[in-house]
Chain A
């Protein structure tokens, strides 16, 4: 019976340790963020050990040409061109590397159908520098994203 208690304790301890460790580190990325152009809101979540971001809001959700919700019409993969932009996972596979940085990820730009290598740096708890680049980090561009929250009740 003591052995059972020991194993259960080990389980609970290890689970809570992992949870608290990750929350203190990489999980600070989790939340809803707005890119600098204000055209979208992106919800970053953790799946497994990696971080992903999907588009959850669009400033202009309707395609002015078709009058229908925007789809990923610029995707190089023809089979994806009818996929709705809302719900699209534009950030993929980010791994927390410590020091408030996430790397090894990709960022997709629906406006031109390009996928860039990407790194994320947290400037402060509510500000991200997201850099998309081609091959080497020097060939890239950095965008500033701001954290969003539910409106405070007055």
Chain B
């Protein structure tokens, strides 16, 4: 009898101890795919517990290249010619640029990112260093300025994506850029900042297409412009081909080898208005001592091939190569940084009319992305 009680006691104790064992040990959870047979049809007719859910258009479509959260890159233009136009007592001068190169760092961080609203804040630093052949022989003030000082951009920007319903949305972008030949930390005044903005309304009719139309205030062509913009992103059902277009800022045809390898061909219109004369007296008139407040209206088209691929995890490589075609490198007099709008039909005189030949360029960057 006593033996029987002892065996029951042992059994009960084992049962009690067993109940405390981590159940993880007993469960097979390492498989991603759940092998067990389950009748999935029971989930067909489920309904929301508390009424319908509100749906919003996604900011993305299938197959888009991943958004770059943090990017560190290097841009290099090969040798080309520059001709600085006549300016006051200086006659036109041509020179050979051996390279234009610099670091590009930028970040775009989502501060609010949910299905009903996305707000991103971003910052960037671009450095453009001009290397001349025979620098000592340069005399035109624009050329000596470029030879001695880098052009820099420090900018802040924000992008807001607001879905209105399941298939329409609003998109806003604003940016403030300090562009010039200033040194760091001796920045130029905030009154020389250049502000850009865009507002678009669009539709997302399917997971494979989104489009939008809007207007923008932009310096991409160098000087201030107000122009319409068109967004058109499309991906084929096979996810092999696609477009990523925000015209006229950029337009690319995309070929997807696989979701971690993508090839692009297209162009980007890139530019801004750069204040020059921050660091020396190159633009002080030798006769009357007055100093012009000049800005280079730099706008360039970059026709290119681009290759983007995953390196590891969320780190991606982006490499691009192509031809940089000059659109504008003219100079305006902008006293006290108070900009003006010339548009396509304005007749305000240029302070300098400059020309650049069109070199090959490449750009390489490492990016932390959000696929």
Spell out A's residues near B (CB within 8 Å). Answer: 1, 3-4, 7-8, 10-11, 14-15, 18, 32, 34, 36-38, 41, 43, 47-50, 52, 54, 56-57, 64-65, 74, 76, 80, 83-84, 86-89, 92, 108-109, 111-114, 125-127, 129, 134-135, 138-144, 146-152
Q: Say yes or no: A76 contacts B115, CB within 8 Å.
A: no
Whole-angstrom CA separation of A54 from B31 in the bound complex: 11
Q: Say yes or no: A47 contacts B53, CB within 8 Å.
A: no
Q: Say yes or no: A149 contacts B29, CB within 8 Å.
A: no
| Residues of chain B with a CB closer than 8 A to A129's CB | 114
| Residues of chain A with a CB closer than 8 A to B47's CB | 148-152
Q: Say yes or no: B32 contacts A89, CB within 8 Å.
A: yes
Q: Which of B12-20, B75-83, B145-153, B171-179 contacts A (4 or more CB under 8 A)?
A: B12-20
Give 17 A-B pairs besides A8-B12, A138-B109, A139-B370 with Cβ atoms closer than 8 angstroms. A3-B9, A4-B9, A11-B19, A14-B16, A18-B19, A36-B55, A41-B46, A57-B40, A57-B44, A112-B371, A113-B259, A139-B109, A141-B110, A146-B50, A148-B48, A150-B47, A151-B47
Q: Can you list 14 A-B contacts with CB-CB less than 8 angstroms, sorted by A residue number?
A: A7-B13, A32-B43, A36-B55, A49-B23, A52-B29, A83-B32, A89-B32, A113-B259, A134-B69, A138-B111, A144-B115, A149-B46, A149-B47, A150-B47
Q: Say yes or no: B29 contacts A50, CB within 8 Å.
A: yes
Name the residue on A nearest B20 (C-beta). A14
Whole-angstrom CA separation of A3 from B50 in the bound complex: 50
Q: Is B305 an interface residue (CB 8 A)?
A: no
| Residues of chain B with a CB closer than 8 A to A138's CB | 109-111
Q: How far does the Cβ of A29 sit from chain B's closest Cβ, in whole Å?
A: 14
Whole-angstrom CA separation of A34 from B54 in the bound complex: 12
Name the residue on A nearest B62 (C-beta). A111
Q: Say yes or no: B69 contacts A87, CB within 8 Å.
A: no
Q: Is B357 an interface residue (CB 8 A)?
A: no
Partner of B237, one of A7, A65, A143: A65
Q: How far does the Cβ of A30 sit from chain B's closest Cβ, in whole Å?
A: 13
Question: Using an 8 Å CB-CB cutoff, how does the interface string of B44-81 with A read, 1 for contact, 0 for none?
Answer: 11111110010110100010001001000000000000
Q: How far does the Cβ of A141 sit from chain B's closest Cβ, in whole Å?
A: 4
Q: Say yes or no: B45 contacts A151, CB within 8 Å.
A: yes
Q: Is B24 an interface residue (CB 8 A)?
A: yes
Whole-angstrom CA separation of A10 from B69 in the bound complex: 55
Most B Cβ at <10 Å: residue of A76, A109, A129:
A76
9 tightest A-B contacts by CB?
A: A48-B24, A148-B46, A11-B16, A141-B113, A36-B115, A112-B371, A57-B43, A48-B23, A142-B114
Q: Say yes or no: A87 contacts B34, CB within 8 Å.
A: yes
Q: Say yes or no: B13 contacts A47, CB within 8 Å.
A: no
Whole-angstrom CA separation of A15 from B21 in the bound complex: 11
Partner of A139, one of B9, B69, B259: B69
| Residues of chain B with a CB closer than 8 A to A87's CB | 33-35, 38, 40
Whole-angstrom CA separation of A147 from B52 in the bound complex: 10
Partner of B33, one of A83, A139, A147: A83
Q: Say yes or no: A36 contacts B31, CB within 8 Å.
A: no
Name the residue on A nearest B113 (C-beta). A141
| Residues of chain B with a CB closer than 8 A to A141's CB | 110, 113-114, 118, 370
Whole-angstrom CA separation of A150 from B42 in the bound complex: 9
Q: How far does the Cβ of B262 sit from chain A's closest Cβ, in whole Å?
A: 12
Name the residue on B nearest A125 (C-beta). B49
Q: How far does the Cβ of A8 sit from chain B's closest Cβ, in whole Å?
A: 5
Name the residue on A nearest B8 (C-beta). A4
Q: Is B190 an interface residue (CB 8 A)?
A: no
Q: How far does the Cβ of B18 sit from chain A's closest Cβ, in whole Å?
A: 9
Whole-angstrom CA separation of A129 from B62 in the bound complex: 23
Q: Say yes or no: A126 contacts B50, CB within 8 Å.
A: yes
| Residues of chain A with a CB closer than 8 A to B238's CB | 65
Q: Say yes or no: B9 contacts A7, CB within 8 Å.
A: yes
Whole-angstrom CA separation of A57 from B38 in the bound complex: 12
Q: Say yes or no: A36 contacts B23, CB within 8 Å.
A: no
Whole-angstrom CA separation of A15 from B47 in the bound complex: 33
Q: How far does the Cβ of A87 sit from chain B's closest Cβ, in whole Å?
A: 5
Name the residue on A nearest B23 (C-beta). A48
| Residues of chain A with a CB closer than 8 A to B115's CB | 36-37, 142-144
| Residues of chain A with a CB closer than 8 A to B258's CB | 74
Name the residue on B nearest A142 (C-beta). B114
| Residues of chain B with a CB closer than 8 A to A57's CB | 40, 43-44, 46
Q: Say yes or no: A142 contacts B113, CB within 8 Å.
A: yes
Name the residue on B nearest A75 (C-beta). B32
Q: How far does the Cβ of B85 sit from chain A's closest Cβ, in whole Å?
A: 47
Q: How far does the Cβ of A65 sit from chain B's closest Cβ, in whole Å?
A: 5
